[in-house]
Amino acid sequence: MKLLVSLLLTLCVSLAWAGETASPKLDIGKGGQCVEDTQWMRKNHMHLLKHGRDDALRRGIRDEKHSLKTCIECHASTKDNSVIARDDSFCVGCHKYEAVKLDCFECHSGTRKSAWLQQRGIK
Amino acid sequence: MSDMDMNRRNFLKTSVGAAAVALAPGMMLYSVAQAKSEGASSKVRWGMLIDTNQCKPGCNDCVTACNRENGLSGETKATDSQWIRKIEIKDISTGREISLPMMCQHCEHPPCVDVCPTNASMKRADGIVLVDKHRCIGCRYCMMACPYKARSFVHENVHDQNPDVPRGKGTVESCTLCVHRIDQGQQPACVEACSNKVILFGDLNDPNSAIAQKVQNVATTQLRADLKLNTGVRYQGL
């Protein structure tokens, strides 16, 4: 009986603790309706990107709907046009919270294309 | 066509339109604006023809355009990436001087692809030779295999890349024939930038294309043709 009570107690405490934990506050950029359901994207965006990259690069099939560039176009901060510049930027915010290393931006730009063109004085 | 057929066609048209509108907002029977390209086709073979007679010595427009498009520094130290270089050669016996741009020749049988241990170095169906940087381990075998010295290794961290041209430290890179522009129906940056119209870009497999017709009618050379790599880049006036 004691064991059961203590088990229940720990469960309740941990639940309460989990509820209080602050989830990351993200700068979601323009936001709005995502290309897929938000919850589904939280779980599966990496699969879209990983399959999409092989299709795009090796076979030339560019799925604009699910491309990294399209993600950035919508979700880059309206302040600095980036998904990686600050701790609450769209990609960095969650990845920091979940302690998952973010490799994409070693090579890929985290900036909106229009902003990049503006920086360089093109167009 | 009879009146009856016309009516039937109109009826079908309007009913399809009505169905598309009648669905809940944000839902369509089929998506219109979701562009998903067909991908590279093996019916196409992208190539270039470079007319060295028109190429002006000292002119660097193609190199500058390439650097700007692909976010290269433009420096020429041993550790800097160069996707395209200008080369000046002189025939000692006659004194004739030629200037020409050199870059990845986009071979049909690319040695860089043969030697790559991870399949990162690859040829797309339409003949463009690329490095898949997701797989590249930076071993640089391809750099040694390339008879044209067309590839560069990225030695340092890269910032401010063109969103269309990812580049990163520890990988090998070379001319992509501006694949991101080709896929949008544009010409490579160097072709567009050349004020002397030296570089002709197009589909070598399409008999109606300007490049295929010129290759058929004018004497052109492949560099190091003895290697039988069947390059996609050809030179005229060598």
pLDDT 10s digits, B72-124: 999 999 999 999 999 999 999 999 999 999 999 999 999 999 999 999 999 99
Measuring CA to CA, which residue among B83, B106, B68 is closest to residue B201? B106
Q: CA–CA separation, B150 vs B157, rounded Å?
A: 21
Q: Which of B26, B133, B161 sits opposite A109 (nearest CB)?
A: B161
Q: CA–CA separation, B215 vs B204, rounded Å?
A: 8
> Is B25 a residue whose pLDDT tops 90?
no
Percentage of chain B lying above the pLDDT 90 cut: 82
Q: Which of B35, B132, B162 sits opposite A116 (nearest CB)?
A: B162
Are A30 and A74 contacting, i.e. CB atoms less than 8 angstroms apart? yes
Which residues lie below 8 Å from residue A5, measured CB to CB, with a gap of 6+? none
> In the structure encoding, which two tokens stand for residue A76, read together?
């880059």
> Contact B164/A69, CB-based, under 8 Å?
yes
> In the structure encoding, which two tokens stand for residue B111, read together?
């040695």
Global ipTM: 0.78
Q: Is A32 helix (H, G, I), strand (E, B) or coil?
A: coil
pLDDT 10s digits, A64-98: 889 999 999 999 999 999 999 999 999 999 999 99
> In the structure encoding, which two tokens stand for residue B37, read together?
């390209």
> Contact B37/A57, CB-based, under 8 Å?
no
> Contact B163/A58, CB-based, under 8 Å?
no
Calculate helix-pair angle for A38-59, A68-75, nearest 10 degrees.
140
B residues 134..163 contacting A (CB < 8 A): 134, 158, 160-163
Q: How many CB atoms lie within 10 A of CB A58?
A: 19
Q: How many CA atoms lie within 13 A of B64 on its CB side?
A: 7
Q: CA–CA separation, A110 vs A87, rounded Å?
A: 14
**How far is the alpha carbon of B34 from chain A, nearest alpha carbon, in Å?**
6
Q: List residues of A whose CB lies inside 8 A of any B CB.
A: 33, 53-55, 57-65, 69, 72, 106-109, 111-113, 116, 119-120, 122
